[in-house]
Structure formats: C-alpha cells, structure tokens
Amino acid sequence: MSSRDTEPHGNRFWPFGPAQWIAVILIVLAIVFVAQNRASMAIHLFWMTISAPQWFVLVLLVIVGLVAGYLLGRRRAKNRGR
C-alpha cells in the first residue's frame, strides 16, 4: 500500500478541484442574474410584439450568438481545409 492510497482526495479547505469551484461560481452568478432581471419587457420585431422576462431574452440572445459563432467558425474551418 503506497502513501498515495492513504491520502484523502481533497483537503479541508479545498474539497473540490478548480473546475468544480468555477462551476459553483458560474451557477451562483446565473442565479443572481435571473433574480436581478425578472422584470418583463416588450420586444418589437417587425409587426410582432412579444412580452417576456428580461433574463429570458438575454439568455436567448446569447444562445443565438453562440449558434451563429459556431456556424461561422465551422464554415471558416471548412474553407481552410481546401
């Protein structure tokens, strides 16, 4: 039995690794974001008017931006392969 087998997986002050702490911080920030942006807002697009919570609209726009970035990045990578 080596000393590695007897050591605990974490210590008293850092029971999680850095990735888990970053995840916890991001979850807390997301909860604060939603709590502070609960007000409803009206969105006017062409002839439509939609009312939705502000946090939902912002999250939706982030998702649209991520999808657009992914698609544009995929196209750029495809053109480099030629």
Q: What digits encode the pLDDT tens for the residues 31-80?
A: 888 888 888 989 888 899 989 988 888 888 889 988 998 888 876 666 77
What's the structural domain count of the chain?
1
Tokens representing residue 13 in the block: 């002050």
pLDDT of residue 51: 93
Tokens representing residue 27 in the block: 């979850």
Alpha-helical (H) ranges within the chain are 3-6, 18-36, 54-80
Contact 53, 38 (CB under 8 A): yes
- Structural domain containing residue 26: 3-80
